[in-house]
Amino acid sequence: MNVAIICTALLGLLLFGLGLNVSLQRRSNRRSIGYDPSPTDPVHRAVRAHANTAEYAPFFAVLFLWFAAHPAPLWITATIVIATLARFSLAASLLWGKSLNRPNPARFAGALFTYLSGLVLAVGLMVA
């Protein structure tokens, strides 16, 4: 199977898994809507991880699928893998870092590689 398709499926699993996590956190914490703005509130963290993923995963999926349908060089495939790992890193850091208001290496790396890989893939699409 194509690496780009596998990575698209992984992003889908991440997005829908994080959505399920929001629902489970809401149930567990007895909050049907909203969240405590505390940077350590588990519902707040779950909502931020899901929302952040929802902001980036769809466009990454479009880029990944375009490159899956068209021959792409190895550096594009590597960038797709890096982007996927970055999204997982960022989501994990939002869920399990000490606090949302404290930077951590996984969050920094996830954000940095999200931006870099997104820009590289967008430019790659322009020149393809």
Output the pLDDT for position 1.
76
Distance CA 7, CA 80 (A): 7
Residue written as token pair 């393809």: 128
pLDDT above 90 as % of the chain: 81
Output the pLDDT for position 108.
96
Output the pLDDT for position 15.
98
Output the pLDDT for position 35.
83
Distance CA 114, CA 86 (A): 6
* Predicted TM-score (pTM) of this structure: 0.94
Q: Which of 1, 112, 5 is nearest to 68 (CA)?
A: 5
Output the pLDDT for position 63.
98
Output the pLDDT for position 33.
84
Output the pLDDT for position 32.
82
Which token pair is 83?
């982007």
Taking 70 as the pLDDT cut, the residues of the chain under it are none
- Tell me the longest C-alpha to C-alpha distance in the chain: 50
Contacts of 99 (CB under 8 A, 6+ apart): 39, 40
The model's pLDDT over 27-64, given as tens digits with 9 standing for 90+, comes to 988 888 878 788 889 999 999 999 999 999 999 999 99
| Full DSSP string of 21-46 | HHHHHHHHTT-SS-----TT-HHHHH
All structural domains of the chain, each given as residue ranges with its CATH number in brackets, are 3-127 (1.20.120.550)
C-beta of residue 76 within 8 angstroms of C-beta of residue 121: yes
